[in-house]
Amino acid sequence: MVKKKPLQAIQEAVELRQYLPADHPAAFNPNLATSLDKLSICLSDLGHREEALEAIQEAVELRRYLAADHPAAFNPDLATSLNKLSIRLSDLGHREEALEAIQEAVELCRRLAADRPAAFNPDLATSLTNLSIRLSDLDHREEAEQISKEAATLASI
């Protein structure tokens, strides 16, 4: 058995899963989005920032589609992917777009945490921390500090 490198294995999983959704997108797109998400992480870790951004953008697009029909099931994953999209955009210096992506993630997390705080406050705290970083990147220091305090409060609950 030939051992594959992580990037090669993830790329193969994405390629295989890209053929499946054509017939049954609702059944296969969640797995494709997850594979794209993992591909983005792997590419980013290897310094392939542009490719990492493309992969997470595709994952976000798929998850938006899924969340439109089934928000309760797919908004948590959409928020996570938006969080990662914000990081990838920031890595490439697209600070305004990074801020927009994380603001959308925070909005989704706030709604999720309002309904189920025990389940979603940790995700909200993570998104708020990333929002604070994005705000700081754009020299919105006071707002970044307030958001950071809110994240710390949630994390300590």
| CATH code (residue 117) | 1.25.40.10
Look up the domain containing 51 and give its range: 6-155
Residue 27: other Cβ atoms inside 10 A:
10
Q: What are phi and psi of 149, to 5 degrees?
A: -65, -40
- Residue 40 domain-assigned (yes or no): yes
Residue 125's Cβ-count burial label (10 Å; 0-12, 13-18, 19+) is buried
Mean pLDDT score, 74-83: 97
Measured in whole angstroms, the distance separating CA 101 from the mean position of its chain's CA atoms is 9
1, part of any domain? no
Q: Specify the long-range contacts of residues 129-137, CB closer than 8 Å, at least 24 apart.
A: 130/83, 130/86, 130/87, 130/102, 130/105, 131/99, 131/102, 131/103, 131/105, 131/106, 133/90, 134/86, 134/90, 134/95, 134/98, 134/99, 134/102, 135/99, 137/90, 137/95, 137/98, 137/99
pLDDT band, residue 146 (cuts 50/70/90): very high
Q: What is the mean pLDDT of residues 19-41?
A: 81
Q: How far is CA 67 from the centre of its chain?
A: 14
- pLDDT of 28: 79
- Predicted confidence band at 104 (pLDDT cuts at 50, 70, 90)? very high
Is residue 139 in a domain?
A: yes
Q: Is 156 helix (H, G, I), strand (E, B) or coil?
A: coil
CA pair distance 124, 120, nearest whole angstrom: 6
Q: Structurally, how many domains does the chain consist of?
A: 1
Does residue 86 fall inside a structural domain?
yes
Predicted TM-score (pTM) above 0.85 = yes
What pLDDT band is residue 5 in, cutting at 50, 70 and 90?
confident
- Whether 130 is covered by a domain: the verdict is yes
Predicted confidence (pLDDT) at residue 65 exceeds the cutoff of 60: yes
Q: How far apart are CA 108 and CA 95, in angstroms?
A: 20
Q: Is residue 135 included in any domain, yes or no?
A: yes
